[in-house]
Structure 1
Amino acid sequence: MESTKNEIFVIGHMNPDTDSICSAISYAELKKKITGEDYKARRAGQVNAETSYVLERFGVKAPTYLPDVRIQVKDIFIREVDKVKNDISLKAAYEIMSKNSVVTLPIVNDKNGLEGLITIGDIAKAYMEGYDSKMLSIASTPYKNIIETLDGKVLVGDESAVVREGKVLIAAANPDLMESYIEEGDIVIVGNRYESQLCAIEMNAKCIIVSDGASISSTIIKLAQSKNCIVISTPYDTFTVARLINQSMPVNYFMKKKDLITFTREDFIEEIRGVMAKKRYRDFPVLGKNGEFIGMISRRSLLDAKKKKLILMDHNERSQAVDGLEDAEILEIIDHHRVGSIETAGPVYFRNQPVGCTCTIVYMMYKENNIEIEPHIAGLLCSAILSDTLMFRSPTCTPVDKAAAEELAKIAGINVEEYAKAMFSAGSDLKNKSPEEIFYQDFKKFEAGQISFGVGQLSSMSTDELGNIKEKIVPYMKKAFAEHGLNMLFIMLTNILDESTELLCEGDGAKELVLNAFKVDEVDGKVILKDVVSRKKQLIPVLMSSLQQDNN
């Protein structure tokens, strides 16, 4: 079974905003059209209300959630193997293993659920220890297994029957002695001697196995029918029959059923490697979400594990990236923020431009490659530009952003002002959202020397709406601050129309840092930053500069 190693994931930052999601979707589509390869948009967090409105408005599904990009079982080759039912014989199981050069067979039920595993070692052990003459009955061996193992055919009786009692004997003695040790329900291996065949049936043997393909008289046939005795004819000699018959036992008696070590396609390689090392098994089964058997992996399979291939959109800070980034292969970074802390193993395509939105860069790349922008993609790109530039009010907005948004709006068939108001209204309508959902609508972490801090931003065109948001978010800030282990935490409540921000602060020295950095005073317990609407261009640079001065 092929792994997913040919996929290339295009993914934005954690707690994604509209730009992060829309740029990933749009760029994945662009790369597909340019290269024909398997680019897939993914998201590293939950879709917020504004972005949900945008996706629904243009009929686009949200990208699949990808919280961790460490190597998983599905990223390696999962070997498909023959699956068998639990009543097949040891001999049949061994033949399948030999044919396919495997040492382990999965035993499944009618619904493809894993019941157990049988290995070459289990079969060898069964053969070496199968000296008990009652083993066939102990293992509840189907007669069809005996027939298949001995290449025999049934002359009398029901081949679907099962051995429930008795022992296996060889009729090597004369009839007088045979009468002393044959018991009801036994299986007796006989040759072509009429007397031995007759004696075994009269002693109520459950089955006689006639070796060497010897002829059987009509008298014996009739007697066997009247006594309900199964008669099997085999071309093998008596020695071979005696040697092979225990190989007819079903695998369910010998297979491992309890404490099976299984993995799923979603398990991470670094976690299962330790489990494998502690067990002596060579192969391990992989199961699906509903417990269905998929295939097998081995320790050797791990050597072929391939890193997930990523294109990072709208971020280049390690603290903002999806978990497990160190185990992934970064191919490209497309961003419009400051150059951050992500390191790569080799050179990558890195496009970083001082524009107001990553989607503006994606729009430019569509143009550069002469790729037609479809209406739904135009809608996504335009929405992200309007969102990131606060409908051109943000100082991060450039003439390039505005020109791109206006052209995209024509392709998408929307009125910029009307659509932007509807989009912002949907994004700030948080009546039914929990404080946690509101908090993580647009939240990012940053580092300045030894200081780590987080900044979230919530924007609205309504002062009343921002007031309602504040009532919900303030109590939750203390909890979030403790959970993230940050030195400081800030939440921007940005009024788009007033072009101002009330900044909520948490952490020792957080409020003092802001007041000193922006040269403002606290008024009625509030920190108001007039003409500040951009986290990227107006808040973060000032905080970084102030923190660096303090460190120096």
Structure 2
Amino acid sequence: MDTIYITGHRHPDTDSIVAAISYANLKNNEQSTAIPCRLGPLNDETAYLLNRFQFEEPFLLKDARIQLVDIPLERPYCVNENTTIFDTLEKMRRCKQPFLAVVDDDQKVIGMITTNDLGTIALADTALGIDLLQDVKASDVAKTLDGTLLYDDDELHLNGKVSIVTLSKHGADRYQVQDRIVIVGEDTQSQKQMIERGAGMLIIVWSGHIEEEVIECAKKNHCPIIISGHGSMNTSRYLFFAPNIKKLMSTSVRSFHINEYMEDVVKKMRKDRFRAYPVVNDHDRLVGYVMKASAIDYQNKSIILVDHNEFSQSVANIEKANILEVIDHHRINDFSTQKPIYFRNEIIGSTSTIVASMYFEKGIEPSKEMAGLLLGAIISDTMNFQSPTTTEKDFYIAEKLSTIAQISIEDLAYDIYFMSSNCTNKTLNDFLEGDVKLFSIEGANVMIAQAIIPSINEISFSQEEIEHSLTEHAKRAHADLYVMVFTDILQKGSYFFYGGKLKSYFSHESFLLMENILSRKKQIVPMITKKLKENL
């Protein structure tokens, strides 16, 4: 089952975060696999509520495009460059895949080996086999031949060529054996003769016992001795599977980082002929393989939007996502999809009210903790039911949640505004970059930041400081107008500050309390829209 990512808007407020958490929980109760997400850091109020009701911070979603980390990868089977051809083929057979990454001692990818690479030992010129056998280890030969290494020597002298000695009336006189790997039978004299004539390695077939004099001769002439577990023919065949894969592997390998986006991966894949690619982590260590055949058919993330529907307020590249649903209480602006979706938009004070009502509609009672969290979000987004966006349904759902959570609305509201709204340690940037949304109004880009505070007396910054910083923020954000709204709960109104090239239209309103102006959506945006219509 595909994972569903449920996310609120950028610069998340409490309603956005709680709607994502609670709706993901509801989806998971319906046998979906849903992950609640956030698009930025939590504000103090949200962090307070999550901690109070024991919920974890949601996953930070950075992009709607799918990454390699989001898809199932083939298991990270691998070998090192000293693995023999025989063992490599055996591992491919066990793993049921015709390729393996070659890694170093730190599990970092240094190459790739495929069955095609290994097949060259049989199909290529004999020069390749000679080259490989020059560096073969006696221990690897013994293992590959299911044999026994009777004697090994540090001073190997191999030219890579192989001789199979059979008895004739001329004995072994006609064989060139200097520095060669020699396959010989059980005749003791022939064995000694091959060693004395300079054989680089002696492989004995059809014999279970070697005379001591042969071993002594081998020691004097630096010639390893192996008793093969096979006859002459299979010994000569399997011998060429004893070298390691170092000279056969490809070192020109394209690998992908685990966090690369699939659309970028596929573009690179189209330039190559390979069918499998190693995937590495931050330490360049192998974590799996991605197959071209499956990568070509990738789909981006499946996403449900809560508390917003405008793409400009959503996760990066949201237009490329598979949008499944929208649960929102804001205006519908630049939203479109390629196929029908479930879209629930209500004229209501909080998205969390909608989500809570969906629990009850489905006959599911939220847990005590979930009810408390949802109640906190409704209180937050309706400004303790003082916002003009508040409806009777908000009151009704809040009362039901209060009963389940066993907490009074008044007590929770007090805690939210007077325990979580500590302005003392906040910088001006914390306010300007906290709960901020982008709006397109009369062709102008307008950023509106809002902070809910117990009292304007909590704010120690001067009007000049705030407006100067707003102008700088407007430049960086390419905004025509940047508005900072401090909403004073005790006075039931808001203070406005402006920055940007359009600030002159509003300058006479700065640092004045606008009574009963609380809602960004229903009051502040329409007020700014009206002013811009009059002047632009």
Identify the TM-score tier after normalising by the shorter chain: 0.7 to 0.9
Q: Residue in 2 aligned with 1:9?
A: 5
Task: Work out whether 1:167 is the aligned partner of 2:159.
Answer: yes
1:209-228, aligned counterparts within 5 Å? Answer: 209-211=203-205, 213=206, 217-218=210-211, 221-223=214-216, 227=220
Residue 484 of structure 2 contacts residue 498 of structure 2 at CA under 8 Å; is this kept in 1?
A: yes
CA distance in 1, matches of 2:126, 2:42: 62
1:304-319, aligned counterparts within 5 Å? Answer: 304-319=297-312
Q: Superposition RMSD on alpha carbons, in Å?
A: 3.1
Q: Which amino acid aligns with 2:330?
A: H
Q: Residue in 1 aligned with 2:20?
A: 24
Alignment CA distance shift 1:215-1:7 (3 Å): closer
Q: Which amino acid aligns with 1:167?
A: N
Shift of 1:39: 1.7
Q: Tell me which of 522, 527, 534 is aligned to 2:519.
A: 534
Task: Work out whether 1:299 is the aligned partner of 2:284.
Answer: no
Q: Residue in 1 aligned with 2:151?
A: 157
Q: Residue in 1 aligned with 2:191?
A: 197
Alignment CA distance shift 1:448-1:269 (3 Å): same
Residue 75 of structure 1 contacts residue 305 of structure 1 at CA under 8 Å; is this kept in 2?
A: no
Residue 316 of structure 1 contacts residue 340 of structure 1 at CA under 8 Å; is this kept in 2?
A: yes
Residue 456 of structure 1 contacts residue 490 of structure 1 at CA under 8 Å; is this kept in 2?
A: yes
Q: Residue in 2 aligned with 1:207?
A: 201
Residue 382 of structure 1 contacts residue 405 of structure 1 at CA under 8 Å; is this kept in 2?
A: yes
Give the % identical residues. Answer: 30
Alignment CA distance shift 1:279-1:432 (3 Å): farther
Shift of 1:40: 1.7
Shift of 1:144: 3.4
Shift of 1:273: 2.1
Shift of 1:351: 1.2
Residue 191 of structure 2 contacts residue 214 of structure 2 at CA under 8 Å; is this kept in 1?
A: no
1:382-397, aligned counterparts within 5 Å? Answer: 382-397=375-390
Q: Which amino acid aligns with 1:93?
A: T
Residue 7 of structure 1 contacts residue 309 of structure 1 at CA under 8 Å; is this kept in 2?
A: yes
Alignment CA distance shift 1:493-1:469 (3 Å): farther
1:42-441, aligned counterparts within 5 Å? Answer: 42-80=37-75, 82-97=77-92, 102-108=97-103, 112-125=107-120, 128=124, 131=127, 135-136=131-132, 139=135, 141-149=136-144, 151-154=145-148, 156-157=150-151, 165-168=157-160, 169-170=162-163, 182-183=178-179, 187-203=181-197, 205-211=199-205, 213=206, 217-218=210-211, 221-223=214-216, 227=220, 229-234=223-228, 241-242=235-236, 244-257=238-251, 260-441=253-434
Shift of 1:312: 0.8
Greater mean alpha carbon deviation, residues 364-373 or residues 120-129? 120-129
For the residue of structure 2 that corresponds to 1:116, the secondary structure is strand
Q: Which amino acid aligns with 2:401?
A: L
Q: Residue in 2 aligned with 1:518?
A: none
Q: Residue in 1 aligned with 2:449?
A: 456
CA distance in 2, matches of 1:116, 1:327: 34
Shift of 1:323: 1.0
Residue 64 of structure 2 contacts residue 320 of structure 2 at CA under 8 Å; is this kept in 1?
A: yes
CA distance in 2, matches of 1:315, 1:133: 66
| TM-score, scaled relative to structure 1 | 0.86
Residue 329 of structure 2 contacts residue 349 of structure 2 at CA under 8 Å; is this kept in 1?
A: yes
Q: Which amino acid aligns with 2:159?
A: K
| TM-score, scaled relative to structure 2 | 0.88
Residue 495 of structure 2 contacts residue 513 of structure 2 at CA under 8 Å; is this kept in 1?
A: yes
Residue 142 of structure 1 contacts residue 163 of structure 1 at CA under 8 Å; is this kept in 2?
A: no
For the residue of structure 1 that corresponds to 2:448, the secondary structure is strand
CA distance in 2, matches of 1:252, 1:356: 67
Alignment CA distance shift 1:195-1:470 (3 Å): farther
Alignment CA distance shift 1:238-1:28 (3 Å): same
CA distance in 2, matches of 1:266, 1:363: 35
For the residue of structure 2 that corresponds to 1:252, the secondary structure is coil
Residue 116 of structure 1 contacts residue 256 of structure 1 at CA under 8 Å; is this kept in 2?
A: yes
Q: Which amino acid aligns with 2:2?
A: N
Q: Which amino acid aligns with 2:84?
A: S
CA distance in 1, matches of 2:235, 2:346: 81
Shift of 1:84: 2.5
Shift of 1:548: 5.1
CA deviation string 1:10-53 (max 9, x = no partner): 111111000000111111112222x1221221111111111001
Residue 54 of structure 1 contacts residue 383 of structure 1 at CA under 8 Å; is this kept in 2?
A: yes
Structure 2: runs of 5+ lacking an equivalent: none
Residue 152 of structure 1 contacts residue 232 of structure 1 at CA under 8 Å; is this kept in 2?
A: no
Shift of 1:364: 1.3
Alignment CA distance shift 1:255-1:471 (3 Å): farther
CA distance in 2, matches of 1:130, 1:163: 25
For the residue of structure 2 that corresponds to 1:19, the secondary structure is helix
Shift of 1:534: 0.9
Q: Residue in 1 aligned with 2:473?
A: 480
Q: Which amino acid aligns with 2:5?
A: F
CA distance in 2, matches of 1:428, 1:299: 52
CA distance in 1, matches of 2:380, 2:526: 20
Shift of 1:501: 1.7
For the residue of structure 1 that corresponds to 2:148, the secondary structure is strand
For the residue of structure 2 that corresponds to 1:377, the secondary structure is helix
Greater mean alpha carbon deviation, residues 81-90 or residues 459-468? 81-90
Shift of 1:216: 5.7
Greater mean alpha carbon deviation, residues 223-232 or residues 305-314? 223-232
Shift of 1:202: 2.9
Shift of 1:297: 1.3
For the residue of structure 2 that corresponds to 1:452, the secondary structure is strand
Residue 48 of structure 1 contacts residue 427 of structure 1 at CA under 8 Å; is this kept in 2?
A: no
Task: Number of aligned residue pairs: give it.
Answer: 529
